[in-house]
Every structure is written in structure tokens, then in C-alpha cells.
Amino acid sequence: MEPTSRSKTVLLGAAGLGAAVLITWLLLSRRKRNRQLRKVGEVSHLYVYPVKSCRGVTLPEAECKPFGLQSGNLKDRHWLVIQENKVHVTARQEPRLVLITVSSDNDKLTLRAPEMDKLEIPLKLPASNDIFICKVHGNKVSGRDCGDKASQWITGFLKSREPYRLVQFEERMKPRNPKNEYEKYTENDKVAYPDLSPLLLLSEASVDDLNSKLSKKVTHRNFRPNIMVAGCEAFEEDSWDEIQIGNHVTLKRVMPCPRCILTTVDPDTGVIDMKEPLETMRSYRLNNPLDSGMFKTSPLFGQFVRITQTGIIKVGDPVYQMLY
């Protein structure tokens, strides 16, 4: 039987799609074969920050997933403190947030803070809890309300005059697209409550270099990285366009991290300095003049990366720069 015109069109379209897929696969395979790995360091620390701006949880290993690092039920920046107007609250406004520690036991998220009874929140919130449209750096993103008890606990610890609430991002919710904030991102980049990327990478040597210029030393915890790398030169991470960690995880650099007053919050005391180390970083870590419209007066420290291959990352894993 003679194929109809429509059938021919469908067959030709399918053949063209198949050819495109095959060509893409061949190009990627060739690129992978031509890839060389140069060891540039090793993972020295891993952190996940379940509640944005609260204390990080240090990990011996973590799953590297599309929305960032995860350890058990602790997912990076999947909980967020908000104001009544649904705008996010961070340690920029409430420095004492960094004193709240987070853990997870028996399907509950547990928050602890000085002079406070612990707060336990179900990881699976009741469907009857409200879903709010929140704003993180002006971008809309959803969050399910964690309830009045959580609101009272957060508000009480921070001694806020206005009530704060805690919300949780659920995987089926629509994520944020950081492209709305920086053109370096693409339509495919998605995050929950992080500032921009699902991962922030920094080297130990860069922190050491900064400390050599400071009278009052800081630690890498001032910069809230997810992945710390040891064994490389200071700011060498600025040149790693693509890296592989261990045998599987691959990451691609998106842009440097523009720094703000949050770096001046002491992670051990919750006291904000407002000046250092930010002023010293501005003296030698300002952006390229060509990017002045993008970063303005923010010094650049650490790299935002996107995840191109998921897997497990462990402390001690080798870090390779991928060369082609």
C-alpha cells in the first residue's frame, strides 16, 4: 500500500530525529574519548545547608543530585525562613540564623539553637498546610508552610518584632530559574532556595590567601561552600571550566560568586561585622571591568557550578580538571 503524504512526513521526521540523536551521541562520545583528566586537588570538606542561612552540616560523603547535595533526608537549602510578605530572610538581615543547627531523625527535621528547646518538624508536611509563593532575590518560588509551632520557634529565637515563618520546598514544586537574575545561566538551570547554583565550590588555598591579608582570621565557613578543595593554588578554581570528582560526578563552572555582608557574619557567634573580610576582598578580588555591570562592587570568591553528572562525592575524592 502506498504511504500517505502524512505518513511520509512522520517517517521522515522520525528519521531526522533519530539521525540528530545519533550525531549528538557520536559527538559526545568523541569528546569524552578526547577528554584528559588533570588532578588539581582533592575534596577536603562537604557541607549541606538544609535551612537557608542556618549552620551547615558537615558530611563525610553526600549524594550529588540535580538540586545539590543531599545526605539522607537533609537536602541542601530546601527550607527557608520568610517574612509575612513572603520575602526570604537570611543571615544578612538576621545574623543569628547561623547559630541554628539542623539534623534529621525519624522522618523529622530537628532544629536546635542556644537557650531554646529543640523543634521537630515532619519531613512530610500535611497536605492541608498552606503553600506560599515566596520570593528569593526577587524570584518567585513555592514553599509549603511548616506550621505555627515552627513560626513561633523561629520568631522567638530571633527576637523578631514581626512573625517569621518556615517553608519547605517539595520536589514537585516549580523551581526557580537563576537566569532571571544572571545571564550566565540557561533555561535549564533550576534551583530551590540557593542564591543561584545548586553547588558552590571553593579552595582552601583561596581562604588561606585571604587570611594572609586579614588581622582577624576567618574560616571557610564564612563563605558557606558546599565543596571545599585542598591541594591546589589560591584561586585556581577560577580556571576550572569543567571538573570531575571521583569517578563519576562532573561539574561545569557557571560564574564566580559575588560576595556580600553575609561573609562578615561570625559563624560561631552570629555577630555581624559589616566590614571584614568584605573590605579586604574588595581590595583585590573585584570583577573584571568588562563585567562591572553584572557584579558591580561585589568581590568574587568561589565558583558557582552546575551539575552535569550526578553521583556520590566523598571527602578525600580526587578532583580533576577536564581538558579537551
Q: CB neighbours (10 Å) of residue 140?
A: 12
What confidence category does residue 21 fall into, taking pLDDT thresholds of 50, 70 and 90? Answer: low
Residue 3 has pLDDT above 60, yes or no: no
The answer to whether the beta carbons of residues 98 and 55 sit under 8 Å apart is yes
Residues 180-193 pLDDT 10s: 889 899 999 999 99
d(CA 152, CA 159): 10
**Residue 168 exposure: Cα atoms within 13 Å on the Cβ side:** 23
Q: Where are the domains of the chain?
A: 37-323
The answer to whether the beta carbons of residues 253 and 310 sit under 8 Å apart is no
d(CA 219, CA 222): 6
Determine the residue type at 107: D
What confidence category does residue 106 fall into, taking pLDDT thresholds of 50, 70 and 90? Answer: confident
Residue 143 has pLDDT above 90, yes or no: yes
Topology of domain 37-323, per CATH? M1 Pyruvate Kinase; Domain 3 (2.40.33)
Residues 48-68 pLDDT 10s: 999 999 999 999 999 999 999
Q: How much is the pLDDT for 35? A: 79
Residues near 209 by Cβ (< 8 Å), separated by ≥ 6?
234, 235
Residue 262 has pLDDT above 80, yes or no: yes
Q: How much is the pLDDT for 296? A: 83
The answer to whether the beta carbons of residues 206 and 49 sit under 8 Å apart is no
Residues 266-275 pLDDT 10s: 999 999 999 9
Cis preceding linkage at 277, omega within 30: yes
